[in-house]
Structure 1
Amino acid sequence: MSDNVSSPTKIITIIGAGFCGALTAVNILRRNPGATVRIVLVDRSTRPGRGLAYGTWDDNFLLNVPAGNMSALPDDPNHFVQFCQNIDPAFNSATFVSRRLYGDYLELTLQQAAEQSGGTPFEQVRGEAVSIRKRPEDDSYQIDLANGRSIRSHQVVLALGHFPPSTPAAISGLHESGVYIGNPWDSVVLERTNGEAPVAILGTGLTAFDVLFRLTISSSTRKVYLISRHGLFPQPHRFNPKPPAAAGFPSFLENLPVTVRAYFHALRLEIRKNAANGGDWRDTINLLRPHTPLIWQRFSVEERKKFLSRAVAYWDIHRHRLAPAAHLRLRNMRESGQVEAVAGQIQGYEVKGGNVSIRIRERHTGQPKELDVSRLVNCTGPTCDISKVTLPLIAQLRDEGYLKQDPTRLGFEVNDEYQVVDRGGAPADNLFYIGPMLKAGLWEAIAVPELRVHARRLAEFLTSELSQK
């Protein structure tokens, strides 16, 4: 079946209905385009706005950011807090609320935007897009779904979210063993591992702790090993954090060589200076946040690669923090011995029946260590190198030259108007992207405060010709 684009109504199809896809639709609808625009939102799920982050129904999983900084609407910073207070007046801007509740909020925000849009046609389609191709006869795009349906659209937005981690070379042979879980967001597979048998988690980012808490939700004794190269853990948020005051570009970074070494040295000095005056390092990191894209763009490709190879692990544990309750839970699990951090590199493994023995060379001693576990869960972070992404849609767009990998392999190239850049270096007409791979050009582009602004700007670009009429 094929949808028609011959009518004067402009069709905008958004592929992916997680946070970015849903918020792009919300912002288009809030511009009240009426019947001049038809929006089609395509996703495998029937519940828009949830994606990987907010698809859990367990209220033990909390946001890692206080409610006051989680509004979906940049022009209404109290929007989410008001939603929460309509449920329970005890909520406030400093509360770390459940992700399930935030998913409810995004669903409601989209529903309300559709109802108040002035009659803009809005269709939610359940399905998986497997290919997008330009139609030379009318410059539209044909989107083919796995279920056989085709959608023709004047503009297409890729809002695909994160892709599962790549399997490290040292454990590449574990795929068919039954002991390896390569997708840490597959809740069905994770729930099958419930029990008392020990488990190893590869990685110590925020996803690793989601998996840790899921695997131990019904057991206070199950042993879990957290394996990473550096053995670092995210720092906690403070209780009642205050939003940073608006400020210009940090003076302590002015007139420096544009190198990772110089910038990190200046940052450490500034943190020490603030601490001597009773300040907190989090305040310095928070003040830096709105200027991070400019800093990233100042760095050469070589300096960006240095940051990724030498400094990113230390940056991430300070920038991406745990909610206080989650951090306390982790600390108690470590003190009890239930959770053990293992810093080092995997050297090999041996599958023994339904278990696996993992051989590790410890980082600080160089000594070998062996872990016997029932499962190994890969939480090393989303795949950003599109040459390794196996999703059919990305493979098709990559192989046919619609996408161009950025030189740091953090995503694909996107211009300032969110158009994807093709293999030849030209922006693709009417093919757009929004989501975490914007970090390739901006670095700070994976969290709600930044992505909500990008969603609004993208909606403005998509509907710009309507405001000129």
Structure 2
Amino acid sequence: MAIVGTGASGTLTAVHIARTARSRSTAVDLVLLDPADRWGRGAAFGTPYDEHLLNVPASGMTAFPEEPGHFVDWRVRQAPGAVPEPNAFAPRREYSRYLDEVLTRELAAAGDHVAARHLRSTATGVARSGERWAVGTHDGRQVEVDAVVVATGLPEMGARWAPDALAGSAFFVADPWAPGALEVVRRDRRGPADVLVVGTGLTMVDVVLSLSGPGNRADRRLLAVSRNGRLPRRHLPEPGLAVIPDIDDWPHDLDGILERGRQHLLEVRATTGDWRPAVDGLRFRMAELWARLDEDARHRFLAGTAGAWGVLRHRMPPTSAVLIDALATTGRLQVAAGEVADAEPLPRGGLAVTLADGTRHEVGWVVNCTGPGHDIRRLSNPLLDDLLRDRPGGALGEVTTAGMGFRTTDGRLAGRDRRSAAPVWVLGALRRGELWETTAVPEIRIQARAVATSVLDAVAPLPRRLEDGSLVAGHHPVARPRDPLGLPLSTTAEAAQAFNEGLERVLRLQSGGEDLIRQATELDRDFAVAHAALAMLGHESGASCDVTTSLAAARDAIGRRGDSREASFVDVVGRRVEEPPAQGARALMAHISSYPRDVLAVSAAVPTIAFSGVTDVRQDAWQLVEGLGATYGDHWWYISLLAFTRQDQGRFEEAGLLAESALSCEPSSGHAVHAQTHVLYETGQHDLGRTWLDHWVAASGRAASHRAHFSWHAALHELALGDIEAVRRRYYSQLAPPTVTGVRSLVDSASLLWRWRLCVADWDPAATAAGAGPTFTGEGSVPPVGPILDSLDSSLLERPQTPLIALHAAVALAADGRAHGLAGLQAYCRASDDPRLQTVVAPVTEAFLLMEARDWDGAARLLTEVQPQLDTVGGSAAQREIVEEALLFCLVSSGDTTGTASILDSRIHRRPSPLDRRRRDALQHVAFTSDLA
């Protein structure tokens, strides 16, 4: 394989080819073609100047989405003793070193699987060479290959705007990124001091900083002009969370899309106080919106709105913005709307430039900062020209909108016959015409992995399995359909399509997944995996289906058709349904060990909103998820699960970055949203948390299958803020029966009401009796818990099947004052074979009985003793926190304000909230009175 270009796109593609080849045990001879002396030094990152900064925070520049701290950690290793700075805007040349080291490491790790060589040459064309292909170079070489990846970016600055008198002048810098180009300007002391910069985007920012800092003439002034005279907006020092809109019901015409986009920006600014989260969220939808537009609409966008979008989308680092402001304030930089009309040489060097408005400016230099030309037909690049030239059978490539890149099929060139004949792939800026947003590292790294996989699938495909289970060569023309993770399915194409759509809904935590899987069984009665999937969803997550009937159908079907993986899955589902939980869990884990890409099996094994998982031991769940990293890589679903694991480990910053990465790929990922919501709660970002979550639920989460749990999370944020009326509105509109029933109403709705009562409604009487001042005067009463309990199946309260449900059964019974029910639950827990029910839930239940009897000291003692073991019942820290709330209430009711204050102080330090601060401040009155006494 040949990769043409070793900037960011080419280097990242090589990284993922090396990784994928190693994982497949595929031998690859990799040739990297680029005149540069090292990898990673394309136009974007080859600058020698430290003042040229990335315009994405370091946390967004990782080479691997599943490792969001990778670049941040690398920077720390370069400067021992430094602290991680995920929001820092690092020097661009630093990033080139990072890419170089990443590729060097991956090639070393690939060992004998990948032989790589760097040819410092320029590619000029691609042509057939017998049964293979050859890449020609400027020095006459022909490199024979099976596949070519063109990753050159846009290899030439666009300067066609320049009048002939300017374009031919020695004082015109057509490409500021050419080696040494800016150094000539910096050293010049003979001609006029001033410099005219044409273009006012991010390139201008870099050039101005280079030509105004140390080493430049002190009398230099810079004039920057563009057609609109608009500067890029600036990043915030700490970026907010992207708010991704749901665009399913957006129109397909340009005016309608622009209007909905404007509404999105206004709504997000009104609720979050800033427009940037709206732009960042819209960015992830731009490719979909772009695909809706016809050619005329795209051209209208380019001629009109594209410039305004670029100003908002491509922003300055905060430190760069401060320097630009200072230069403008002192008069050293002037930014204006204008176009160059003419230029003439000055006798002492430099140029007299006339602008379109008639003004004349004598400058030492004119620097082109308009950016690269976007029409690949006009770049005079021999390789791109060769791909577009007519040849027998038609050109290898065809341009898309306004010549802004090639038409492709998922990155592979589609010629004029619309068939992907040539094994040539492109990525990054060369796909701008069909994607629009495709030039930044967050997009390029995803494309690089996809291209690596596509190239290897095309030229060195893995063996495939036929319907009878036999393996054939990867190029065999007949093979079974596959699921979203690439596993073969023994069914028809139609049934597979319905199954895959349903499975993807399950992965996104969207409703309707089981309906589509049921449809697959109707399309093919012998589709064993679909029958078994229905049985698993019914047994594990309470989906609406007849578990017994589905399991019987799966066993019957697998006897007629299916491979060893499918037979194992059917067997495991049967064991989960019919055998004791421990035996079923062992069978499920053994299946995953053999078939780690069986995503439905993995889903059932990991504790999430939807599934209880195979273990309530947090470390075992962590180990399960982390052990799947090599299997799933940067798949959005896996990154979402990893994000939840990281927040459970208290690694909140990393968890948040993982969740953002997953949502950028799949905005509907409920698992990623769940992880991000926990991050915001545990770090005390309550106002942002409820606003961001409400945006998601109303937009990308409209089809979420666990909306009640997300509503519970939003209510927790509101309770932490002390916004009790908001909690009341949310409960009655989103959490009260009959809107929410079953396990969800027990775990979410009932626990919310008791937490509300302990923290607010009953807090003032207890705290006032202990000598504290009132805190929640006039907040009103808590809605009754009785209707929730009356709607539940009695078995949930009397014979709960998991420790987490048992804990919440105790909470619900205590909230309604049902001492008899608590006593029965306590007896059930003590008689259980599950040690967690015996040693954790039973003491908590006893403590709740003591609270009912107003034995506050006894209850506090039991709750204190059980705290260290509480995490063994499973669930999240936010769910288990209800026990700490009960402890706080017992302590303040017993008059132990010192103990109460100590817990509140610890919590405020860990996770500040207005509610806890109000309660803690009220206790100051007790301490003050005690000091007076």
TM-score scaled by length of structure 1: 0.90
Which deviates more, 232-241 or 381-390?
Answer: 381-390
Task: Rate the CA distance shift 1:423–1:173 in 2: closer, same or farther, 3 A.
Answer: farther
Q: CA deviation at 1:384?
A: 2.0
RMSD: 1.9
Q: For the structure 1 residues 327 and 169, does the alpha-carbon distance in structure 2 shift closer, same or farther, using more than 3 Å as the test? A: closer
TM-score of the two chains, using structure 2 as the length reference: 0.46
Tell me, yes or no, if the aligned pair for 1:170 and 1:346 is still in contact at 8 Å: yes
Aligned identity (percent) is 29
Among 347, 356, 362, the alignment partner of 2:351 is 356
Q: State the distance in 1 between where 2:119 and 2:179 align.
A: 23
Q: Which residue in 2 is equivalent to 1:6?
A: none
Partners of 1:419 and 1:428 within 8 A in 2:
no
Distance of 1:106 and 1:179 partners within structure 2:
34
> What does 1:7-156 align with in structure 2 at a 5 Å threshold?
12-31=1-20, 32=22, 33-34=24-25, 36-88=27-79, 89-119=82-112, 120-135=114-129, 137-138=130-131, 140-156=132-148
SS, match of residue 461 in structure 1 = helix
Moved more, 311-320 or 343-352: 343-352
**Structure 1 residue aligned with 2:336:** 342
User: Given the superposition, is the C-alpha separation of residues 242 and 141 from structure 1 closer, same or farther in structure 2, using an over 3 Å criterion?
Assistant: same
Matched AA of 1:23: L
Structure with higher helix content: 2
Q: Which has the higher contact order (CA 8 A, sep 6+)?
A: 1
Local SS of the residue matching 1:337: coil
- Highest CA radius of gyration, 1 or 2? 2
* Structure 1 residues 256 and 291: CA distance shift in structure 2, 3 A: closer
* CA distance in 2 between partners of 1:289 and 1:318 (Å): 11
Amino acid at match of 1:22: T
How many correspondences in the alignment?
Answer: 446
> Could you report, residue by residue, the CA deviation over 1:331-373 in whole angstroms, capped at 9, with x for unpaired residues?
11111111111202322222333222222234xxxxx222211
Q: 1:273 is matched with which residue? A: 267
Instruction: Give the equivalent residue in structure 2 for 1:443.
Output: 436
- Deviation (angstroms), 1:167: 2.3
The one of 401, 406, 410 equivalent to 1:412 is 406
Residues 62, 97 of structure 1: 8 Å contact kept = yes
Distance, in Å, in 2 between the alignment partners of 1:183 and 1:111 is 30
Do the aligned residues in 1 keep the contact of 2:269 with 2:278 (CA within 8 Å)?
no
Query: AA paired with 2:44?
Result: A
Do structure 1's residue 188 and structure 2's residue 180 form an aligned pair? Answer: yes
| Aligned partner of residue 148 in structure 2, secondary structure | strand
**Alignment partners' CA distance in 2, 1:288 and 1:167:** 31
Give distance in 1, aligned partners of 2:74 and 2:461: 31
Distance in 2 (CA, whole Å) between partners of 1:117 and 1:34 is 9
Deviations 1:260-316 (A, max 9, x none): 332223323333333333421001011112111000101111111111001111100
Other-structure match for 1:8: none
Match of 1:371 among 353, 361, 378: 361
* Worse overlay, 321-330 or 33-42: 33-42
- 1:92-135 Cα shifts (integer Å, max 9, x gaps): 21111111221111111001100111412111111111222122
Which whole-Å deviations, capped at 9, do the CAs of 1:108-163 have from their partners, x for residues lacking one? 1001100111412111111111222122x21x111222233221111111111222
* 1:385-430 Cα deviation digits (max 9, x unpaired): 12211122223333343332223221222222x1123344433421
* Cα distance between partner residues in 1 of 2:436 and 2:211: 31
> Residues 58, 170 of structure 1: CA spacing in aligned structure 2 closer, same or farther, 3 A cutoff?
closer
Deviation sequence 1:183-229 (CA, Å, 0-9, x none): 12113122111146211111111112222222223235411111100
Q: Which moved more, 1:45-54 or 1:418-427?
A: 418-427
Amino acid in the other structure paired with 1:108: E
Question: Counterpart in 2 of 1:7?
Answer: none
Q: Rate the CA distance shift 1:284–1:41 in 2: closer, same or farther, 3 A.
A: same
Shift of 1:51: 0.8
Q: One-letter code of the match for 1:374?
A: G
In 2, the alpha carbon distance for the partners of 1:39 and 1:278 equals 48
Moved more, 193-202 or 286-295: 193-202
Aligned residue among 244, 258, 277 for 1:283: 277
* Residue in structure 1 matched with residue 919 of structure 2 by the alignment: none
| 8 Å CA contact 1:29, 1:117 repeated in 2 | yes
3-state secondary structure, aligned to 1:359: strand
Matches of 2:30 and 2:4, distance apart in 1: 11
Secondary structure of 2:413 counterpart: strand
Q: Distance in 2 between matches of 1:329 and 1:467?
A: 54
Cα deviation for residue 257 of structure 1 reads 3.5
Q: Supply the distance in 2 between the matched residues of 1:69 and 1:273 (Cα, whole angstroms).
A: 25
Q: SS at 1:26's partner residue?
A: helix
Whether the 8 Å CA contact 1:62–1:98 is kept in 2: the answer is yes
Q: In 2, are the aligned partners of 1:15 and 1:156 still within 8 Å (CA)?
A: yes
CA distance in 2, matches of 1:337, 1:118: 57
* Aligned equivalents of 1:402, 1:466: Cα separation in 2: 23
How does 1:209-358 map onto structure 2 within 5 Å?
Answer: 209-217=205-213, 218-219=215-216, 220-244=218-242, 247=244, 250-251=245-246, 253=247, 255-353=249-347, 354-358=349-353
Structure 1 unaligned spans of 5+:
1-11, 363-367
Cα 1:144–1:275 change in 2 (3 A) is: closer
Distance 1:36 1:235, change over 3 A: same
Task: Give SS of 2:285's match.
Answer: helix
8 Å Cα contact 2:51-2:210 kept in structure 1: no
Q: Distance in 2 between matches of 1:467 and 1:333?
A: 58
Structure 2 runs not aligned, ≥5 long: 464-473, 475-933
**Counterpart amino acid of residue 352 in structure 2:** S
Counterpart amino acid of residue 205 in structure 2: F
Give the Cα separation in 1 of the matches to 2:105 and 2:416: 39
Residue equivalent to 1:198: 194
Q: 1:279, 1:68 → 2: CA distance? A: 23
